Structure 1
Amino acid sequence: MALTPQDVSRIALLARLELSDAEQAQMLAQLNGFFDIVERMRAVDTTGIAPLYTPLSAVQDVSLRLRDDAVTEGDRREANQASAPAVEEGLFLVPRVIE
């Protein structure tokens, strides 16, 4: 997928960027280079290869440091809402700002 100079102009317009002709040409080359890398990556057959959760796992054994999913503090809803100007059924009430 190669971009055209018109594509770069449209992207610059949408991004509210003002690019000179030289900057547009440079951006065109950079974007097309990026898309070329993506196309080369798509061409690689990755069937049967498990995804890595970290790039380090490709070169060394990395174990995940996960903690137990356990409650560490109790329900403090009432204490947290004590200073609120208006609360109803455990919810903060705020003034309407959109008509």
Structure 2
Amino acid sequence: MQGQGPAPFTVRARGEIDLAAARHLRRKLARALVEHREVVLDLSEVTFMDCAGLGALVQGRNLADRTGLRLVLHGIAHPVARLLRLTGLTCRLATAL
């Protein structure tokens, strides 16, 4: 089909996204956003996320916005959705395909 670009690259996050895991997620997102125009972050298997994980999402979104790329959150699990609601970041971060 003409006019369609390459398929988005998917980064999958699983389990608990705490301070240690958030550092890894930040690096994965930054690398993916350097190499791909559109990155989908699949959060469907995330069981816990703290403020460090939230910071990784915000940093990824900011990088995508600054560089004209696209970061899409997909499969937002309940713990992440609740954190986004509580912090008021749902509109800023919660993007569906």
Shorter-chain TM-score range = under 0.3
Choose between structure 1 and 2 for higher RCO, CA contacts under 8 A separated by at least 6 residues. 2
- Structure with higher helix content: 2
TM-score normalised by L of structure 1? 0.21
Q: Which has the larger radius of gyration?
A: 1
TM-score normalised by L of structure 2? 0.21
- Structure with higher strand content: 2
